[in-house]
């Protein structure tokens, strides 16, 4: 089997190749079909059409269990970052295993409440631009903690809390001025970024907040960015947070929580589950070492590291095309379905949903979508097994920031989403219709 197949066969139980022995795929040349858990992806494409997002419930559970296990020695709550993948089916799965949630908008909070209203007690409300309406809604539902990002926001929250006569439990999100060594668009821990309060100004603001009737100081929060694969920046940020916590405790503040944020990255070229437990353990050690001796409850906000490798985007080859020396595969998915390659020049491995064991031919191609933008691509100059028109491709590691960033650009309908659990298949979001897209618009006659 070729290098691509070997890589995917290291992803049990989800997204591995299995030899086809019977069923409708047996009419194909002798080969192996890519499966999600125990379901062939080609079967899902036949049933639900393409483009199609497919998620593995078993992978989400396993990665969450590994993450939780890494922090087992300290009081902690895992608050899944809803922005990574906000599908109600995914949120319901996570709520069912006792997960908390990190939200950054009133809409995300409403999604959590639709899944389980009791989950609000384990919700952290983050975000740099919360509106008064969002604050009031969060106060009404009794969220666990507000991560406050500016002095102006602090006093707006105090006003809202006074109106509702509900105490708002707060943590100031401090900006530790730590470089995260990630893409500049998803780095958030430097002074040049819009996020957080400079750590040197936090002590004074905590003192001012402590005298406000409807604000209750409860913690300190930090988040330095996303898709960070080196744990050293996390350790450095936590050292600065731990130092601040000791100062605040010395000032008489009761600091119950330290919110370490999220940002743990995945290797998009080798995201095998086998290595995740070790990665989570290394991450835990980096965070916990600076906090030793502090009696705090740790809040963690993983997103991508939990759901990223649990999803694929299925797309069908529409056309093969040659422009001079360039070879193109034009597929039916586009940048509106998966924006990361266009937005971040991000790498996603692409593999066929069916491998012919008698063919070892490869070619170098650009995999592109049908949108009228040169930026509409999934891979450039990528070596892939030779595929034909109407063949199915799987774009891997799209469980995070795939559907969450999707749009209707070019008046394209967004994909359907399917959750697979062993042999069970659930449609958790149907494909949009044209009526869905046009219904909100007012037509002028």
Averages of pLDDT over each 10 residues, the chain, 445 residues:
37 74 57 92 97 97 96 97 98 97 98 96 96 98 96 96 97 81 44 70 94 96 86 91 96 96 87 76 95 95 96 98 95 98 94 85 96 95 96 97 97 98 97 94 71
Say what the pLDDT of residue 420 is: 98
What is the CA angle 276-89-307, rounded to 5?
A: 20
Phi-psi map region of 35: left, alpha, beta (phi>0 left; psi -120 to 50 alpha)? beta
Which residue ranges does the chain devote to CATH 2.40.37.10?
Answer: 3-56+309-438
Say what the pLDDT of residue 189 is: 39
Which residue ranges does the chain devote to CATH 3.20.20.10?
Answer: 57-306
Phi, psi dihedrals of residue 148, rounded to the nearest 5°: -90, 135
Please tell me the distance from the alpha carbon of residue 205 to that of residue 219, in angstroms, as a whole number.
13
Name the architecture of domain 57-306: Alpha-Beta Barrel (3.20)
Strands (E), 260-352: 297-300, 311-323, 326-331, 350-352
Say what the pLDDT of residue 3 is: 35
Say what the pLDDT of residue 175 is: 87
The domain 3-56+309-438 is classified under which CATH number: 1.10.10.60, 2.40.37.10, 3.40.640.10, 3.30.420.310?
2.40.37.10
Say what the pLDDT of residue 183 is: 40
Phi, psi dihedrals of residue 306, rounded to the nearest 5°: -90, -50
CA torsion 288-294-295-300 (nearest 10°) is -30
Annotation says 79 is catalytic:
no
Q: How many CA atoms lie within 13 A of 427 on its CB side?
A: 12
Name the active-site residue from 79, 99, 160, 372. 372
């Amino acid at each position: 089997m070729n290098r691509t197949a070997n890589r995917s066969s290291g992803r049990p139980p989800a997204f591995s190749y299995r030899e086809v022995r019977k069923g409708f795929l047996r009419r194909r040349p002798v080969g192996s079909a890519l499966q999600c858990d125990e379901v062939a992806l080609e079967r899902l494409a036949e049933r639900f059409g393409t483009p199609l997002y497919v998620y593995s419930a078993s992978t989400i559970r396993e990665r969450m269990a590994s993450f939780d296990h890494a922090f087992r020695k300290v009081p902690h709550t895992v608050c899944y970052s809803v922005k990574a993948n906000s599908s109600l089916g995914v949120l319901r799965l996570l709520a069912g295993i006792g997960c908390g949630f990190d939200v950054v908008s009133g809409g995300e909070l409403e999604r959590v409440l639709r899944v389980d209203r009791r989950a609000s007690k384990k919700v952290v409300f983050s975000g740099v631009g919360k509106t008064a309406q969002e604050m009031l809604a969060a106060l009404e539902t009794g969220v666990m903690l507000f991560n406050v990002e500016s002095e102006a926001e602090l006093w707006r929250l105090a006003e809202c809390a006074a109106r509702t006569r509900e105490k708002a439990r707060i943590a100031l999100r401090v900006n530790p001025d730590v470089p995260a060594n990630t893409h500049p668009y998803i780095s958030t821990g430097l002074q040049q970024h819009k996020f957080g309060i400079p750590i040197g100004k936090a002590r004074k603001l905590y003192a001012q907040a402590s005298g406000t009737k409807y604000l209750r100081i409860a913690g300190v929060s930090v988040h330095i960015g996303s898709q960070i694969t080196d744990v050293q920046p996390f350790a450095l940020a936590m050292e600065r947070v731990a130092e601040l916590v000791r100062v605040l405790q010395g000032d008489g503040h009761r600091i119950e929580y330290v919110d370490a944020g999220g940002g743990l990255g995945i290797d998009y070229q080798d995201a095998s589950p086998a290595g995740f437990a070790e990665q989570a353990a290394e991450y835990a050690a980096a965070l916990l070492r600076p906090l030793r001796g502090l009696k705090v409850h740790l809040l963690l906000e993983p997103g991508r590291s939990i759901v990223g490798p649990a999803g694929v985007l299925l797309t069908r080859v529409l056309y093969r095309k040659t422009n001079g020396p360039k070879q193109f595969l034009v597929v039916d998915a586009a940048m509106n379905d998966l924006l990361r390659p266009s937005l971040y020049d991000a790498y996603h491995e692409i593999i066929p949903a069916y491998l012919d064991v008698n063919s070892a031919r490869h070619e170098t191609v650009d995999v592109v979508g049908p949108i009228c933008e040169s930026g509409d691509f999934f891979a450039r100059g990528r070596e892939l097994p030779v595929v034909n028109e109407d063949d199915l491709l799987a774009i891997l590691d799209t469980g995070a920031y795939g559907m969450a960033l999707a749009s209707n650009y070019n008046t394209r309908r967004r994909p359907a989403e399917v959750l697979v659990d062993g042999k069970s298949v659930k449609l958790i979001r149907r494909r949009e219709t044209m009526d869905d897209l046009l219904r909100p618009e007012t037509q002028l006659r």
